[in-house]
Chain A
Amino acid sequence: MSDGEARRVHPATIAIGLVKSAPSTLLALPAMLAFGGEFGIVKVVLLTLVGLAAMAFFTWLGWWHATYRLTDDEFVIEGGVLHRSRRSIPLERVQDVSIEQKPLARLFGLALVRIETGGGDKDEATLDSVTLAEAHRLRLALRRAPVAASAEAPVEAEVGQRLFAMSLGRVLLYGLFNFSLVWLAAIFAGLQAIDGVVEFDWQELVGIAGREVRSHLTLATGVTVLGLALVLGVVAGLVRTLAREYGFRLDARDGRFRRIRGLLTRSEVVIVKARIQLALVHRRTVSGRLGWRSLEFQTLGGSDDSSGRQEMAPFARDDEVERVIAAAGLPQFEADALTPVSRGHVLRAALRHGLPVLAVFAVAGAFLPLLWLGLLLVPVPVGLALLQRRRHRYGLRETSAQVTRGVLSQRDWIVPYSAIQTISVRRSWLQRRLGLATVAIDSAGAKGWHRPDIADVAAPIAAELARELVARV
């Protein structure tokens, strides 16, 4: 293997780049056609061709100047035509290399290579794109594994222990639970957008539909429309889940997990065990009741997954979740060994969730008395609040702090003491009146809303918890 010399990414990248920029070019077409009347169609076509040629030339120029080079101790990426940039990554800093194949790239047999150094996903170095064989070769070389079989036997040589996989049936079942009307809304929004472009008389159609509906408004049609919406919601959920989770595989080997999934965009992500901060087991409202869980790992530098954590097993049974947790070297969740938070949690939850509903409908009712009926909804958040304490438990176990929380959708956190960065004890005005405190555990790479906080324990217990946590860090 003759490394050390500069290489370029695959030439087909130019074609992909051009195809990708095509939609924005097409948007300029109507403007050009409008000019066509003044200049004559031949000139416009010529101008368009010149423009395309210029674009192709500049894309090619960019490609020509972008090179990468692998030396004995560093990986160098250079690029830029006018503004040159050079990035060198010491090999010892390379945490891992992930490979992603978007649909277009798959057509050409190409893959995007992302070199992870732990700086967070946004500023990782990427190669867009090289052949799949080259991607595998780079990964082996960057990890300083013996590069015996370089391009010939890329994948099979690396398969480790299979930890978790989802069959097509499992993915489809997961899709059924991912039923979403949000996607319907997105589809309609999309129609609206298209509407603007093709000048389709949507308004009139809705008008016609409205008149039709009003003239034939029976219970049967109402049920049909509702049923249709539900079916569309289910189909949307199925399609989305299938596209993302198809062929889900999780392997473990040499302190790394490797996750492969996706139907159109095939992504391959490597999760280094040493970078795993904590585990989160999530039981969703409906599927959770039927024994399905999802397991996510929070890692240093975060993740591109929608949750901001690495999805290790999106739809799994208890034993499968436990197997992956064990493989990561994390302690298991001990639900039975945890203690509930203070009784005051119920009161505070009831006030926090019930009062806003009460206030909204009380004020709204003053304007429109019919809305007083909304006050009947107040028992719902209050009722959920009553269940909050039973579902919010914590415990300081041998090597980890464990917290569970949530009534409808339930989250179990396993936070190894070694991952705790800071500890804060917070007391709001109301909590001080109730003699309560919240112990907040801060960890690295957290994203989104949810945190493994222990909300509303009695103030002296919170102080004791904070002292004990610090002693174990």
Chain B
Amino acid sequence: MSLTIVPLQPIERGQLYVMHARGAVTAFVLIVSAIIAEVVFADELPVRGAIAGAALLVGIWLAVIAPPRRWRHWGYAFTGSELHVGYGWWTRVHTIVPVVRVQHIDVAQGPFERGFGVARLMLHTAGTDETVVILPGVTRATAEEIRDAIRERIGSAA
């Protein structure tokens, strides 16, 4: 059964490549350290390639299989009075941030994100478990547009 609070629009395709790239970096580090461990403990292993093989499988998962699954479930909608962010492949989460509760706003871009032309919008609230609600994978223009709209709303409320 699907659950629709408001229809969400998908995030940019660029974010998928960002996720692939990040997964690949983690996978690379993992596989390299596994190969080193493999060489060091070569004599004590029951099967040759046990550590490296496991690392390879995890690496493939991180870099190839998981990113599209997670990317597909990201979505957002800005209604003017609140921002909706949906995410999560195993546990699906739909978070709603009322604009009047936003304390401050960041727009951030890491190196991968700059490379693939996407940005991250971060809304800080006074809450506890969801202090920062992050919306990744929107274009810088969209992020700034939402930021300015929210800023205007908060400004006029204060």
Which residues on A are within 8 Å of B, measured CB to CB?
300, 420-429, 432, 435, 437, 440, 442-447, 451, 459-460, 462-463, 466-467, 470, 473
Q: Are B5 and A428 closer than 8 Å at their CB atoms?
A: no
**Distance of A341 from chain B, by nearest CB (Å):** 16
- Give the residues from 90 to 131 in chain B that come closer than 8 angstroms, CB to CB, to chain A: 90-98, 100-101, 125-130
Q: Distance in Å from the Cβ of A470 to the closest Cβ of chain B?
A: 5
Q: Is the beta-carbon distance between B128 and A442 smaller than 8 angstroms?
A: yes
Which residue from A427, A445, A460 sits with its C-beta under 8 Å from B91? A427
Do the beta carbons of B96 and A466 come within 8 Å of each other?
Answer: yes
Chain A positions within 8 Å of B94 at CB level:
424-426, 466
A440 to B93, CA, bound (A): 10
Question: Is the pair B127, A466 in contact by a Cβ cutoff of 8 Å?
Answer: no
Beyond contacts A424-B95, A460-B3: 12 other A-B pairs, Cβ-Cβ < 8 A, are A300-B126, A421-B101, A423-B95, A424-B96, A426-B88, A426-B92, A432-B92, A442-B130, A443-B127, A445-B128, A463-B5, A473-B100
Question: Nearest Cβ in chain B — how far from A444, in angstroms?
Answer: 4
A154 to B125, CA, bound (A): 39
Known contacts A422-B95, A422-B101, A442-B130, A459 near B3 by CB under 8 Å: yes
For the complex, what is the distance from the CA of A444 to the CA of B101, rounded to whole Å?
Answer: 11
Check: B38 CB closer than 8 A to any chain A CB: no
Whether B82 is near chain A, meaning CB under 8 Å from some CB there, is yes
29 example contacts (A-B, Cβ-Cβ < 8 A) are as follows: A420-B98, A421-B101, A421-B130, A422-B95, A422-B96, A422-B125, A422-B127, A422-B130, A423-B95, A423-B96, A424-B95, A425-B3, A425-B5, A425-B93, A426-B88, A426-B92, A426-B93, A426-B94, A427-B3, A427-B91, A428-B90, A429-B90, A432-B92, A442-B128, A451-B129, A459-B3, A463-B5, A470-B82, A470-B98
Partner of A424, one of B1, B98, B100, B130: B130
Distance of A206 Cα from B128 Cα, bound (Å): 48
- Number of A-B pairs, beta carbon distance below 8 Å: 81
Which residues of the partner chain B approach A467 to less than 8 Å between Cβ atoms? 5
CB distance from A473 to the nearest CB of B (A): 5
* Residue B11 at the chain A interface, CB threshold 8 Å: no
Known: A424-B94, A451-B129. A473 touches B101 (CB 8 A): yes
Q: How far is the CB of B82 from chain A (nearest CB, A)?
A: 6
Complex Cα gap A470–B100 (Å): 11
Of chain A, the residue at the smallest CB distance from B91 is A428
Whether B63 is near chain A, meaning CB under 8 Å from some CB there, is no
How distant is the Cα of A447 from the Cα of B129 in the complex, in angstroms? Answer: 9
CA distance A421 to B88 in the complex (A): 21
Taking the closest CB of chain B, its distance from the CB of A454, in whole angstroms, is: 14
- In the assembled complex, B4 has its CB within 8 A of some CB on chain A: yes
Contact B1 A435 (CB under 8 A): yes
Q: Do A473 and B98 have beta carbons less than 8 Å apart?
A: yes
- Contact residues in B for A424 (Cβ distance below 8 Å): 93-96, 130
The closest CB in chain A to the CB of B6 belongs to A467
Residue of A nearest to B92 (CB): A427
B130 to A466, Cβ gap below 8 A? no
- Shortest beta-carbon distance from A431 to chain B in Å: 8
| Alpha-carbon gap, A300 to B88, bound state (A) | 30
Task: Tell me the bound Cα distance from A42 to B2 in angstroms.
Answer: 84
Q: How far is the CB of B95 from chain A (nearest CB, A)?
A: 4
B124-146 residues with Cβ-Cβ distance < 8 A to A are 125-130, 133
Contact A462–B3 (Cβ < 8 Å): yes
Min Cβ gap A465→B in Å is 10
- Distance, CA A300 to CA B128, complexed state (A): 10
Complex Cα distance, B96 from A424, in Å, reads 6
Of chain A, the residue at the smallest CB distance from B126 is: A444
Q: Which B residue's beta carbon lies closest to that of A446? A: B128
Known: A422-B130, A442-B129. A463 touches B3 (CB 8 A): yes
Out of A435, A442, A459, A470, which one reaches B127, CB within 8 Å?
A: A442
Q: How far is the CA of A374 from the CA of B36 in the complex (A)?
A: 45
Q: How far is the CB of A222 from chain B (nearest CB, A)?
A: 48
Write out the residue numbers on chain B whose beta carbons fall within 8 Å of the beta carbon of A473: 98, 100-101
The one of A421, A425, A432, A466 that contacts B126, using a Cβ cutoff of 8 Å = A421
Using CB atoms, name the residue of chain B closest to A435.
B1
Cα–Cα distance between A12 and B72 once the two chains are bound (Å): 66
Closest 7 pairs (CB-CB, A-B): A421-B127, A446-B128, A442-B127, A444-B126, A424-B95, A425-B94, A459-B3
Contacts of A462 in B (CB 8 A): 3
For the complex, what is the distance from the CA of A447 to the CA of B25, rounded to whole Å?
35
| Bound-state Cα–Cα, A212 to B92, Å | 61
CB distance from A31 to the nearest CB of B (A): 42
Report whether A447 and B90 are in contact in the complex, using a CB–CB cutoff of 8 Å.
no
Contact assessment for A421 and B96 in the assembled complex, using a CB-CB cutoff below 8 Å: no
Question: For window 56-73 of chain B, which residues contact chain A by CB distance below 8 Å?
Answer: none
Kindly state the separation between the CA atoms of A435 and B1 in the bound complex, as whole angstroms.
Answer: 6
Q: How far is the CA of A443 from the CA of B129 in the complex (A)?
A: 8
From residue B13, how far is it (CB to closest CB) to chain A in Å? Answer: 26
A445 CB contacts on chain B under 8 angstroms: 128
Most interface-central of B94, B95, B126, B128 (chain A CB within 10 A):
B128
B5 engages A422 (CB within 8 Å): no
| A209 → B minimal CB distance (Å) | 46
Most buried by B among A426, A442, A459: A442
Residue of A nearest to B94 (CB): A425
8 A Cβ contacts from B1-60 to A: 1-5
